[in-house]
Each structure stands twice: as structure tokens, then as C-alpha cells.
Structure 1
Amino acid sequence: MAYADQQMSGSKIIAIIVVALIHVALGYVLITGLAYSAAKKLVERVTTVDIEEPPPPEEEPPPPPPDEVRPPPPVAPPPPINISVSPPPIQTVTTPPPPAPVVPRAAPPAPPPPPPAPSQARGATPDGQGRWAARIQENYPARAIRDETEGRVGVRVTIGANGRVTGCSVTNSSGSSVLDDAACEGMTRFARYNPALDNDGNPTTGSASTTIVYQLSR
């Protein structure tokens, strides 16, 4: 009984293998046949060229005969013209009233000018007169000493803006030219002044007068 079952199992396996081989063969044939037919159709499609012929040209209509005359286009009548005569314009002239008389007005009086600033002008004044007068006495002319000449010399000097004497002239002679010359020379060398001032207080040139006394000590 067991032997018979083993024979039956082996027969079934062989039968199944045969059936599987048959199916494989049929599938191969089917696949290869389909592939061949598809390839054939593709070759036919590639080798076939569709050539389309261009459409024939449209025929132009024949020209009209030369003797044919076209009728003129219809002309619409012109619109009616309305002529109306307008009355002439009326111009009115308005006379303006006479201008009012102009009353002259007197200009207000000008304000008085401001008072001028006080003047700062002053004349030149001696600066340390006792000191420089003594120096002039010390320079008593030697010739006048020998001759025992004495006298009074009136001089007028010009004073610069720096306070120094720039010019000298004898206004009252002593009677001795030696003393007169010595007086102007001493004033030019030793005299000092506070310079004169102008209206704004700035130093300026001035002048002054003085008397030089020559007297010998006894």
C-alpha cells in the first residue's frame, strides 16, 4: 500500500513538471510571435512615408472688360443751411466818475541830527620841562661863557606825533646869535612834549612856544 502511494506521488510530480514545461513553451512561442508581429508593424510604419500634395492655387477672377464703366457713387444732398440775421451788438459806455482831488500832504519834519561827539582835540604840552630845561642850561655855549653873554631867547617849535621837536624858529632874539642858535639846538635835542590830539583823540602834529633863559651863576 505504501509502495503504491509512492508510485502515485512520483507520477504526479512528473505530470506537473511536464505541464509546466508545456506552459513555458507555449509562453515563449506566444511572446516571440507577438514580438515579431510588433517589430514588423514598426518597420512598415517607418518605411511608409505619407506625402501630402499641396492644394491647387486659387484661380484669380478675370479682370472686368475695359468697356465696362462703373456707375458713380451716390451723392447725398447737402444739409439745409439755416441763415439767421442776428441784431448788431449794443455797446454801452460807462463814464467813470472824476477822480477825487489829491490833497498834498506835508512831509513830516526830519529829525534833528544827533549832536556831534565832543571833540578830543588839545594842543601839545611840555613833558618834564624842568628836566630838559636844566639840560639846555648845562649846555651853555662856551663862547658865551667866555664873553659873559647872557640873555633870553623866545622860540617856537614844531612837535611831531611822537612828542619830539621837529623844527625850531627864534621868535624873540637875545641879541646874541650864539645864544639864539644854542636855544634852538637844545630844544631839538632835549625837549619832550605830550603830542597834540585831533578831534578823535589821535596823536597829531602841533606847535608850542617857550623862552630859554641863559644866565651865568655868580
Structure 2
Amino acid sequence: MQADRYTPPQSRTVSFGAAFVINGVIIGGLMFSAPQFLRPEPPTTLRTENIPLTPPPEPPKPRELPKTDDPVLARTPKIFVPDARIPLPSQNPQFDSTTLPPLELPPPGLSESVGPTAGPALEVAKPTPLPLIAATQDPRYARDFQPEYPSNELRAQRDGVAVVRVLIGTDGRVKEVQQVNATSPAFFEATRRQALAKWRFKPATRGDVPQESWKQITARFLIENL
């Protein structure tokens, strides 16, 4: 009886090892044969993007040298010469559009020189005046031209003449009478009265504009014409 209960230690070790191997095989088979309850993760795709790069600045262009056949002149830099003139303050005041200075014209007969230095003078252009057309006697009043014969000169049976200058107005009437020559004061006085009262003229004109003018007229007194 005692001999059957006794088991050597080596046989127990082998038994435990075999049992461990068998259990491992069983657990592994259960793990591979069991259904998969977890949802598999989808495969991921790697996405790439192009990042724009700032282009490098353009290098400065080389300075062009003047074209010349001489290589020494081509390498010689241009010498800067400052302006020797000194700016002076302007002598002409500035005016705005609301306050303009009066226009000053040179006196007639004078010329102006152009430029800072003396030189040939330029004549100021003058407008050409229109010609004056002289006054003429109005033929409608020709019968009233001859002055009345002075009574004292008629009694003396004396012929005479009176030369006068008359100022003719724009209306054709005589405004003033001046004596140039007369045989006697009576002949001049008779002529003066007749000119102021009865003489009529077509006035002088300048460009169809009536003008006052002087005219010299001779009045003759002849007894034979009475």
C-alpha cells in the first residue's frame, strides 16, 4: 500500500510541463478560431501638398557703359559737373486768378529789348489805322452854298474872295469857321454866317464811322454873277 502512494519528484515535473503545453495549445486554438468582434481600421492614404516658394530677387543689372572704341574711355566713369549758376529770387510776383495786375503797355514810339543783355530792339507792332475819307459837300444843299453879297461891298462895286476853314461835325453841319484869307472882313463875315446856317456836308468817315474833320473852302463874290 505504501509503495503505490509514493511518486518520484521527476514524474511530477513532467506531468506539470505536459499539462502547461496542452493548455497553451488549447488557448491558442481558441484565440485563432474565435470570431473577430472588433471593427478593423480602414487603411490610411498619405496626402502631400506643394508649398509655393518665394522666387529669389533678380540680381541688379550691370550698368551699361557708353559705347566707344577706346577701351580707356569705356572704363572711365562720367564726371559730374555742378551747375555754376546761382538761382536768384524771381522779380515777378505771383498773382492768383482773382487779382491780376493791370496790363502795362509801352508808350507809343518806344521799343522793348528782349533778353537779359542789350541787343537789337524789337518794334512793337501797331495796328494800321483805317484811312480817313474826307467830307464832301451834300449836293442836296448846293444851291445854299453862295453867301449873300455884302451891301457895302456891292455899293462899292468891289469883287472879293473869302478862304475859310470849317469844322464839319458827324451830322454834316458846320460847327466852327476860321478865317484863312479874305478880301475884306465883310466878305469873311458873310461867308461865316452862311456856313453856320446853310452849309451841309457828308461827314468824313473812317471804316464807315462818321468823324469830325476840317475842310478848307473858298467862297468867291463876283458882281457879274448877280
**Which gives a bigger RCO, structure 1 or 2 (Cα 8 Å, sep 6+)?**
1
Taking structure 1 as the reference length, what is the TM-score of the superposition?
Answer: 0.41
Taking structure 2 as the reference length, what is the TM-score of the superposition?
Answer: 0.40
Structure with higher helix content: 1
